[in-house]
Structure formats: structure tokens, C-alpha cells
């Protein structure tokens, strides 16, 4: 008569070993974070902070999707768009409104924004 318990144990051991091997094959990465500043050449004090977070392997390749966002001007809270960074800021009047609008539009239209947010400290628009 065959020992069923030994057969089940062998299958479980093989399954565990395969799982461990798969985990070893999975590429290791380190979480990276970069904070940077977007500003207007004409008005350098008009600034919005952008943040990028991603996973990078030992060769410097991005292996985990890049997460980009912006920081609110007053609270520092995460904002998904540059426009959201301006909500509740009372210092805006008609003169400054156009300047901030220009900065937000240039950020949204900026080519290679994801790459710049990962590797640059400042971007003059």
C-alpha cells in the first residue's frame, strides 16, 4: 500500500521550491523618488513642485511604473494635476492668474515630463 501522506508532502515541497525559484528570478529593484521644481523663465518665483516615484534595478533601468504627481503650494499634499496645486491659494489676482495658468499649461504640454520628473532637479519652462 502506498503512503499517500508522503506523496502529498512531496508535491507540496516541489510547489514551494518552484515558488522560491520564481521569486529569485523576479528582478529586484529599489524604490526611487525625485522632487523637482517647474518654474517660468520670465517669473522664476512662480514654481510648482513635481514628484516622481519608481522602481529601478541595479542597472538603472525603470522596472516599476513611474508615479508622478505635484505638491500643493500651501499644504504640500499630493495633487494629480498642476491646476490642483493652486486650489485655495488666495494670493492670486488677475495679474498673477495668467502667470500661474501659463506655468500649468507649459507643465502639461512639456515633452518628456515623466523622464524629467525622474532625473532633473529643476525645469525652466
Residue 11: inside a domain, yes or no? Answer: no
**Strands 78-79, 122-124: parallel, antiparallel or unpaired by DSSP?**
unpaired
Residue 15 lies in a domain: no
Residue 23: pLDDT above 60?
no
Q: Are 35 and 51 within 8 A, CB to CB?
A: yes
Q: Over 50: is that where the pLDDT of 24 sits?
A: no
The pLDDT tens digits for 36-73 are 999 999 999 899 999 999 998 888 787 888 999 999 99
If phi > 0 it is left, if psi is from -120 to 50 it is alpha, else beta; for residue 63 that is alpha
Is 61 among the domain residues? yes
DSSP-assigned beta bridge partners for residue 71? 49, 78
Are 59 and 121 a contacting pair, CB within 8 Å? no
Q: Is residue 45 part of a domain?
A: yes
Average pLDDT over residues 63-91: 89
Residue 12 in any domain: the answer is no
Q: Evaluate whether residue 24 is within a structural domain.
A: no
Beta-ladder partners of 53: 33, 67
- Tell me the pTM: 0.72
Q: Does 50 reside within a domain? A: yes
Q: Give me the number of domains the chain comprises.
A: 1
The residues facing 48 across adjacent strands are: 38
Radius of gyration of the chain (CA): 24
* CA dist., res. 80 & res. 46, Å (int): 19
Q: What per-residue confidence (pLDDT) applies to 16?
A: 56
Domain that holds residue 106: 30-124
In a domain, 72, yes or no: yes
Query: If you write DSSP's letter for every residue of 62-79 in order, what string do you get?
Result: EEEEEEEEEE-TTT--EE
Amino acid at each position: 500500500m502506498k503512503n499517500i501522506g508522503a506523496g502529498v508532502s512531496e508535491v507540496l515541497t516541489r510547489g514551494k521550491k518552484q515558488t522560491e525559484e520564481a521569486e529569485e528570478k523576479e528582478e529586484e529593484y529599489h524604490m526611487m523618488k525625485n522632487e523637482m521644481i517647474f518654474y517660468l523663465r520670465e517669473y522664476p518665483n512662480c514654481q510648482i513642485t513635481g514628484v516622481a516615484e519608481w522602481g529601478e534595478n541595479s542597472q538603472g533601468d525603470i522596472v516599476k511604473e513611474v508615479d508622478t504627481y505635484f505638491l500643493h503650494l500651501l499644504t504640500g499634499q499630493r495633487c494629480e494635476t498642476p491646476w490642483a496645486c493652486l486650489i485655495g491659494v488666495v494670493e492670486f489676482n488677475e495679474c498673477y492668474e495668467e502667470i500661474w495658468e501659463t506655468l500649468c499649461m507649459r507643465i502639461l504640454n512639456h515633452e518628456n515630463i515623466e523622464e524629467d520628473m525622474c532625473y532633473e532637479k529643476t525645469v525652466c519652462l
